[in-house]
Amino acid sequence: MESSGADSASGFERVLAYLRERLLDGTLKPGERLMAERELVRQLGVSRPIVREALRALHMLGIVEIRDRIGTVVKRPDASALKDFFTLALAQQADLIDDVMEARIAIECQAVRLACERATIADFEKLQRALIRIGETIDDADTGSAADFDFHRAIVLAARSPTLAMLHESMATLLAISHRNRRLLVQRFDSMKSYLVDDHKRVFDAIVKRDPDRAEVTLRRHFAIGDEYRRRAVIGEGDRADARTAQSE
């Protein structure tokens, strides 16, 4: 039984390597059909059941589509499959949200710089609609976090970078959790309301003015202030301490 499992794993790896190489060198494109199973068996040196098992696994990952009477067709990249994979793969990781946040900062800070160069009027309108919703839903963790996510997602899409967009979308489930966790802090820190609205407005203004340096600095500061509120929640510090700090400054 162990050798069968090893053979299956090896067969999967061979089929995946075959597909990857031909996608990278351009000989196989999304929408095109793979060679027949018997040809894969002959070229890759694996059994037909293993080829079928590997193709079913690739189908579950969203890499190929198995069609009756047509065969196996390469699919266009679909981040939804990656999203499920990321969520399951990282679910047991310690400090998950902090790790995801670090990746989010890297993606969004590059995306906001590109958005300053590439955003269209339609992107500005999408960002503005999300910005308005952030203000309207400031007291609701569910709808508010969704509005917050939509604003940041709009930044990534405005960057016109398919890779950044796919990476961001692949983490969407985890990012939604992160957004909601931060929005729950609003119930504890009333001062977060103006911070959330004003910070997003400043990021929006920098993008509209096509100022990448200002946009990135503002976005990084936005993330840092959010982390500071999390720290205050952990140590039991509230807005009363905020007021004393502001007066001393």
Segment 81-133, tens digit of pLDDT: 666 666 666 666 656 778 888 999 999 999 999 999 999 999 999 999 999 99
Whole-angstrom distance, CA of residue 118 vs CA of residue 97: 30
Whole-angstrom distance, CA of residue 103 vs CA of residue 138: 25
What's the CATH code of the domain at 229? 1.20.120.530
Are 66 and 105 found together in one domain? no
What residues make up the domain containing 47? Answer: 2-74
Q: Is 155 exposed, middle or buried (0-12, 13-18, 19+ CB in 10 A)?
A: buried
Phi, psi for residue 138 in degrees, rounded to 5: -60, -25
Whole-angstrom distance, CA of residue 71 vs CA of residue 68: 6
What's the CATH code of the domain at 14? 1.10.10.10
Are 56 and 120 found together in one domain? no
Are 49 and 96 found together in one domain? no
Tell me the pLDDT of the chain (249 aa) as tens digits: 344 555 556 777 887 788 888 878 888 888 888 888 888 888 888 888 888 888 887 787 777 888 887 888 888 766 666 666 666 666 666 567 788 889 999 999 999 999 999 999 999 999 999 999 999 999 999 999 999 999 999 999 999 999 899 889 888 888 888 888 888 888 888 888 888 999 999 999 999 999 999 999 999 999 999 888 888 888 887 775 444 344 333
Are 164 and 193 found together in one domain? yes
Q: Which of 74, 92, 122 is the last residue of a domain?
A: 74
Are 32 and 136 found together in one domain? no
Cβ atoms of residues 79 and 166 within 8 Å: yes
Which residue from 63, 60, 62 is spatially nearest to 18, judged by alpha carbons? 63
Are 152 and 231 found together in one domain? yes
Q: Which of 74, 95, 110 is the last residue of a domain?
A: 74
Cβ atoms of residues 32 and 65 within 8 Å: no
List, in order, residues 6 or more apart from 167 with CB less than 8 Å away. 103, 107
Over the range 33-66, which residues count as b (16 or more CB within 10 Å of their CB) and which as e? ebeeeeebbeebebeeebbbbbbebbeeebbbee
Domain total of the chain: 2
Angle value at C-alpha 51, between 45 and 54, nearest 5 degrees: 125
Cβ atoms of residues 201 and 155 within 8 Å: no
Q: Which of 50, 74, 98 is the last residue of a domain?
A: 74
